[in-house]
Amino acid sequence: MSDEPSIPVSPDHEAEIPESHPRYESLLTRHRIEHGVDIGITSRQGLIAQGRGEAYDYLLGERTLDSADAAARAAAAHFLLADHPVVSVNGNVAALVPGEVVELAEATGADIEVNLFNRTDERMERIAAHLREHGATEVKGLTADGRIPGLDHARAKVDADGIGSADVVLVPLEDGDRAEALAAMGKTEIVVDLNPLSRSARAAAVPVVDNIIRAVPNITRHARELADAAPAELRDIVDAFDAEAALADAERAIREGGEAE
C-alpha cells in the first residue's frame, strides 16, 4: 500500500489520508518518516528503526498502556524536578514530533539538543533548522564540546552546556550503547522505546514503552497538569514508579493482549 503513488509523502498532504482509515496513525507515521528522509533529516537507517517500532506498536495494540501512561507521568515529574532537563532529538524524532518536542521543552523548561547516531554536520544543521521552523528558539548539539565517556569519538559528542551538564535527559529511540553510557554518567534517563526488551528501555530510570507520537504529547499533558504541584508530590510520583514493573507489563501486553487486571 505504501508504494501507491496516490498516497502523498509530504505532511502538507496528510489530510489526504482519511482519518477513518483503521491504521491512520500508522500510515501518517510512515509518511512523516519518508518525508524526513526526503528532506534530509532522517537517515535511511531510520526507516529500519521505524519498521521495528511499528512491529512492536502493532503487538502492543497501537495504544498507550496504563503502565506507559504512568511512565509518562513519572517522566513529567522528573522533568519538573530537574535542574537542567534536556530533550535529545534524532532524525526520527525530528521527522515525527518536531512541534511536540518544542511544546514539551516549553512546558518543562527543558533544552533541546540534536544528537545523532549517524552524525553528519549537514544533517545536524537541517534538523536544527527544522526544529526552529517548528518554534524552537534555541537548539543545542552543534557545538559538540562535551563527550559521553565510554563511547567512540563520533558517537560520544554532546554539548557541554546541554546533555553534558543535564541531570535529566529524555532520549527517545536511542541506541542501546548510548543509553547505557548516559545512565552510567549518573543522569536520570527517560527513554521512549516501543521495544520493552531493548537495551535502551532497560537502561532507563523511566522507560516509556509507547509510540513517540503518543508519548511526547502525553508527557507534556502530564507536565502541564503537574505544573503547580509541590516538589513533595512530584517526588512521590517519581518514587511510586517501578521501571521493571512497567517493562514487565508491556511484555505481558505483547504476549496476552489487553490491559492488566
194 interface partner picked from ligand ATP, Mg ion, none, CB below 5 to 8 A per type: ligand ATP
Q: Which stretch binds ligand ATP (CB under 6 A): 142-150, 188-196, 237-245, 250-258?
A: 188-196
Choosing from 64, 200, 211, 220, the residue that interacts with Mg ion (CB under 5 A) is 200
CB-wise, 39 or 156, nearer to Mg ion? 156
Give min distance, CB of 182 to ligand ATP, in A: 12
CB-wise, 216 or 234, nearer to ligand ATP? 216
The contact mask relative to ligand ATP for 121-160 (x = CB under 6 A, - = no) is: ----------------------------------------
**Which backbone phi and psi does 189 adopt, to 5 degrees?**
-110, 130
- DSSP for 220-232 reads HHHHHHTTT--HH
CB-wise, 86 or 194, nearer to ligand ATP? 194
| Cα-to-chain-centroid distance, residue 251 | 20
Element containing residue 172 per DSSP (H, E): strand 168-172
The contact mask relative to ligand ATP for 206-235 (x = CB under 6 A, - = no) is: -----xx-----------------------
97 interface partner picked from ligand ATP, Mg ion, none, CB below 5 to 8 A per type: none
Does residue 89 bind ligand ATP (CB under 6 A)? no
The site for ligand ATP, by CB under 6 A, has a size of: 18
Does residue 162 bind ligand ATP (CB under 6 A)? no
* H-assigned helices in the chain: 24-38, 44-59, 66-81, 91-96, 98-108, 121-133, 153-156, 176-184, 199-203, 212-225, 231-240, 243-256
Question: Which residues contribute to the annotated binding site for ATP?
Answer: 30, 52, 193-195, 199-200, 211-212
Distances (CA, A) of 258 to 23, 192, 246: 18, 21, 15
Report the DSSP pairing between strands 146-147 and 157-158: antiparallel
Contact between 257 and 246 (Cβ < 8 Å): no
Contact between 88 and 113 (Cβ < 8 Å): yes
Give dist(CA 146, CA 38) in Å, integer.
30
Give min distance, CB of 52 to ligand ATP, in A: 4
Cell of 13: 498532504
Interface residues toward ligand ATP, by CB under 6 A: 49-50, 52-53, 56, 96, 173, 175-176, 192-195, 198-200, 211-212
Interface residues toward Mg ion, by CB under 5 A: 176, 198, 200
